[in-house]
Structure formats: C-alpha cells, structure tokens
Chains A and B, each alone.
Chain A
Amino acid sequence: MSSARERILAATRANKPAETVLPAVPDFGGDASLARFTEVLASIGGTVERLLALEGLAGAVARLFPAARLVASPLFAGSLAIDQQTPVDVLADVDLAVLPVEFGVAENGAVWLPEANMLHRALPTVTQHLALVLDHRQLVATMHQGYARLAHGPGGYGLFVAGPSKTADIEQSLVIGAHGARSLVVLVY
C-alpha cells in the first residue's frame, strides 16, 4: 500500500506542466525615509514617537503609558521578568511590552520582530499595548529589501508587525484592538 505522500508526489510528477523559469526579483528601489514610514504607519493606526537617545527609553515609556502597571521589556530594568517558560496566566496580565525590532519597512509601516527579541512568543500579541523600539538608521523601502535583510532565514519564529491588531468583520467598520495589541507605538531613536 502506498502512502498518501507517495501518491501525492506521483500524481504531481505525472500531472505537472513543462518546466518554466523561476524569475529573479529585482530591487525596485523606493523611499526608505522615516517620513514615509511615519505617514504609512499613521494610516494603519500606529504612531511613531521620536526618542533623542535610547537612554531616554524608560522615561519615554513612563510618559507615554502612565496607566501601564505590568510592563515587560528586555531593554530596561524594573520590568516584569518574562521568558519562554512564563506561565499563561502571567502573560495574560501584561499591560505593555516594549520590544526592540531589527528594521522597519517604509512602504507599509511594518517592522521585523524576530523571536530573539520577544521574551516569549506570545508576548507581542497577548500584551494589551505594544511599543517597538527602532533605530532610525534601520529603515528599508520595500518588502524586497526587508527579506534581503533576512538572508540567514527568518529564525524559529518571526513577525512583521504593521500597526495595532484590527478587524473590520462587523459591517466593514474598522475596530482597533481585535485580539492582539490595542495600540502600537514605534519608538524611533
């Protein structure tokens, strides 16, 4: 008896068309400016806040999120200790996660958040609010350039995050804060 695997592969081999060429994808260039990134992010419900220096991060977070009690971040002291072993009930109470991102994409307001920067894989979506910290020199124009930055692979788990969680499933009315973060701020230094 042949397995499903063998049957599927055999049928694929028998039925596939004549081989065609895999095209090379050009780099289309484009605008990689912070102004463009800021404008697009605002159009999808996120905001950009400028930091003068990374040292001012904790102060900026306290100023921007005065109501946040439980804050998780690898970037400053005094925050909640979270790692991949943290139980679900602790994660469920996080008010704010402040996580570093590797680069931003100006054309769509997305930022690349690899697993190594997340503390726990669920943190970027389970937290009520999300602040992502981006070096202003790490901006690319398009997703082509974004994926070119991931030449060593996407890691075990990685996310492009573009704005806060949202839905339009009720009569096409936009609602921010579906299941993931209710708000998203990109802190640019």
Chain B
Amino acid sequence: MSYLTHAGRAEAFVLDHERTSWHDETLWFVRQKRDKAVYAVPEFQELRELASQIKNHTLSRLDFYLEQFEAAAQANGVQVHWAADAAEHNDTVLRIIRQRGASRVVKSKSMLTEECHLNPHLIAHGIEVIDTDLGERIIQMRDEPPSHIVLPAIHLKKEDVGDTFHQHLGTEKGLTDPQQLAEAARQHLRAKFLAGEVALTGVNFAIAETGSVVVCTNEGNADLGVSLAPVHVASMGIEKLIPRLSDLGVFTRLLARSATGQPVTTYTAHYTKPVAGRELHIIIVDNGRTQQLGRPDFRASLKCIRCGACMNTCPVYRRSGGHSYDFTVPGPIGSILSPNIDLKKHSTLPFASTLCGSCTDVCPVKIDIHTQLYKWRQIVAEANHLPTAKKLGLKFMGRLLASPAAFKISGSLGRKALRLLPHGLTHHHAANAWAIARELPEPPKQSFREWYQQQASPTA
C-alpha cells in the first residue's frame, strides 16, 4: 500500500498563498507570546531542567507509579480501568456509558481520544458525542481532524467558522465577528452541557501520590461538563504520571507559558474523588507507549506535555499546516511519535524538518526532538521506506561528499552547468523540487578551494 508523502499532502495547503502566510505569521506570533512569557520568569531554564528530570525519573519507575496511582485513586472511590490499545479503550468507554443507560456525552479536548478514534466508535453505537472545546466543536461540525493539539481550528479563518455556524447553528449568513460567533457557540453548547449524562475528558497530569487527575482548560468546558454530568470518564496515556502533587508547581508554570504565552491556563482542575452518588472512571491506556518506552533513542518522546510549542516554532509546520502530517499529533513531536505506531505510513514525517533544532530549544521538558528526527531517518532508510529518488540521491551524495576529488570535479561541473544550461531545465520542477518556489543563486566564478589556494600561495 502506498501513502501520500508529507510534501504531497502539504501541496494543497500551500496553494493558497495568503492563507499559508497568515498561518505562518499567526503561529509565529504565538511563539513570540511564548518568548515574552518565558523571559519574564528568571528561573525558566531551571524549571525546564527540573521538568525533564521529573519526567525521566517517572519513566524510570513507571510501573511503580502506575500501581501507586491506581491504589490511591481506588482508595478515593475512583474506578480504574486499563486498556492495552485503542479498541480496548473505546470498548471501555462505551461499556461505562451503556451501564448508565446514557446516550448524551459531552467531551472536552483529549488528544488520546483522537488517537483512539473514540468519537466515530461511539457515534456508530448510537451515542451523541459533543466536543465542547470551541475549536474542537467547529472542526467536529466540519468533520475534520484537529490541525494543532492546542489550537485545533488554527487552519480555519473566521469566514469558514461563520459558514459552518450558519449551516449548523443557524447564525446569520456572512457573520464573521469572533465575539458573536463564540456567543452563538456558548448558547448552543450550554444546552448540551445541561443535558450531558456522561462527561469525557483527557488528562494533563496524573498525580501518583494522591490518585488525582489534573485537566487544564481556558474555556472551562471540562469543568462545566464534568460537574453537571453524573459520570466522568477521564482517559490518560501511561506517560501522564508525575510522582507528587508538588511537581505540578513545575509543570503548571511551564505548560501555558510554552503553549500560548499565558501565565497559566484559566482553569487548572484537580479531580480526586467523585461526589457521593456519582462516578469517576479513569482509563489508563498503553496503545504503543510501552513499546516506545523500550526504544532507548526515542523514549524521551514520552515526556511530552502536549503544549504545542514545537509546532508553533517549526518553519515546516507553520508553512505546511497540521493536516499535512496525517497523524493525531502533528508537527515535530508528532513526527517522532508517529513512526513508532506505523513506520511505513509515517515514513516521510521525520523528513518534514530542516533539523534547525528550534523545536528542541523551546520544548519545556527538553525532549531532543531534532536529534530523534535524525535518528528516525536512519531507521526509515534501513527499513527501505525511502522513495527511490531520495535513496539513490543520498547514496550518490554520500559517495561524492566522501571523495575530495569527486567533490572538486562535480563542483566545477555544477557551476558550469548552471551558467550554460537553460533556466527551464535547471529549475525544472521534476528535476529540482528545491527550485519550485526558489531561485538558485548566481554560480560563482571559482570555488572556495580555488580562492583559498590563491590566498595561501606566499607572495613575499
């Protein structure tokens, strides 16, 4: 089976120059807000190091913390479930909903449930699932996946939202005012919150010592949904654990600053015990995570706290859009998580990077993202998943760069060819993808080596 490449999928996105530029500039603006917030905290780099060490430690004793968390949660009256994969997770959620005879579900943002494709599963079984995060609700109405983990509808313009709400909520045609659109969504979703029978949430952090789960939102949709519905189901990957409540001091200082440049999310909710007569279920999910834990070069990807900073800063993500990655988590972090799930399908993602290292620089838990991208490339090549042209090209370049004589000759030939061959050939799209939107530089008359030899000859 063949798959579209990242570049192939990005082609549709970059066709609209204006939108591509807007996307690029908007995400860069979020990156700048992040910088402003980060520079205002003198100990920010120390916090990154602490967060990294806490996550490293947790992974090194993950079995212990999982059991500690389970015991503490059960002592709090929480029902803990385990799911090895997406299917087990989805079946567990459906079973809990059916046990209550419920059919109306309100859901706050959870990348794990996106990863498990929970919504289609529930809907196929007759359950109404309403995404309550505004961005998630917009893309749910449009039947699209999120294009960013924190800003799920960042690929859309207000005109798109206006059209969608006109169609689904009956707002005035041509309405584009964000305030009025958000108000329409508030009214629509409030009715859903009040009628919700089961509330689903993700988990930002799970505290081993107290058995609590922590959910961070700006809209308040998680808390509103959970606090009104009789049943709360929280889904978490095994990597969400942190040992101590006090560790949240580190992570809550890093998360929102890294994500959007806010000093903290509006709501940081700590769910520890259900109200008497109500239910709190926590589903602990593996779905490939223990396998990634066993890959020494790549296990650090499990430290991710899903802030999205690596996306906002990535020059490739900003100009290709989240949908070009065709994976639940797009951007640099998605490109090191996805090959673990399906190497062949996602084989072009580790190449969707300039290896500039900006992702690594902004990562609040110090994941060596660009190093892992480079290492995945070796594995993709060894597994023979490189396109033929790239494979041969790399082989050729490898030989050429290893031989000073070959390098010298080809450099001289290249400079001559660029001068003599017609522009239509040197810049042909099929022969030179680099030149699709760029001009090759004017070829210099001599190479650096030739110039250097002239300088080095003693004149005195």
Q: Which residues of A contact B (CB under 8 A)?
A: 3-5, 7-9, 11-23, 25, 28, 40, 43-44, 84, 88-89, 91-92, 105, 107-110, 120-122, 124-126, 142-148, 150, 153-173, 175, 177-181
Sample of 24 A–B contacts (CB below 8 Å): A12-B63, A12-B238, A16-B61, A23-B53, A44-B263, A124-B223, A125-B220, A142-B249, A143-B252, A143-B264, A154-B270, A155-B270, A156-B273, A158-B269, A159-B270, A162-B265, A166-B219, A167-B219, A168-B151, A170-B138, A171-B156, A171-B157, A171-B161, A178-B219
Contact of A165 (CB < 8 Å), options: B153, B219, B275, B296: B219
Select from chain B the residue with minimum beta-carbon distance to A159. B269
Using known A-B contacts A44-B262, A167-B134, determine if residue A19 contacts B61 with beta carbons closer than 8 Å. yes
Q: Which residues of A contact B316 (CB under 8 A)?
A: none
**Interface residue from B26, B186, B274 paired with A177 (Cβ < 8 Å):** B186
Interface on chain A toward B: helix, strand, loop, or mixed SS? Answer: loop
Contact across chains for A150 and B245 when beta carbons are under 8 A apart? yes
Decide: B264 and A160 in contact? CB cutoff 8 A. yes
328-352 of chain B: CB within 8 A of chain A = none
**A107 pairs with B212, CB closer than 8 A:** no
Closest to A180 in B: B220
CA distance A92 to B178 in the complex (A): 24
Interface, chain B (partner A; CB < 8 A): 26, 29-30, 41-43, 46, 50, 53-54, 56-63, 66-67, 76, 82-84, 88, 132-135, 138, 151-154, 156-158, 161, 178-179, 181-183, 186, 189-190, 193-194, 210, 212, 218-221, 223-224, 226-228, 238, 243, 245-250, 252-253, 260, 262-276, 284, 286, 290-291, 293-294, 296, 299
Task: Say how far A123's CB is from chain B's closest CB, in angstroms.
Answer: 8
Contact A165 B218 (CB under 8 A): yes
Known contacts: A19-B61, A169-B133, A175-B182. The answer to whether A180 contacts B266 by CB under 8 A is yes
Q: Cα distance A164–B88 when bound, in Å?
A: 38
Distance between Cα atoms of A164 and B157 in the complex (Å): 25
In the assembled complex, the CB of A71 is this many whole angstroms from the nearest CB of chain B, namely 19
Contact check, B284 vs A8: say whether CB atoms are below 8 A apart.
yes
Indicate if the CB atoms of B193 and A179 lie closer than 8 Å. yes
Most buried by A among B57, B58, B151, B178: B178
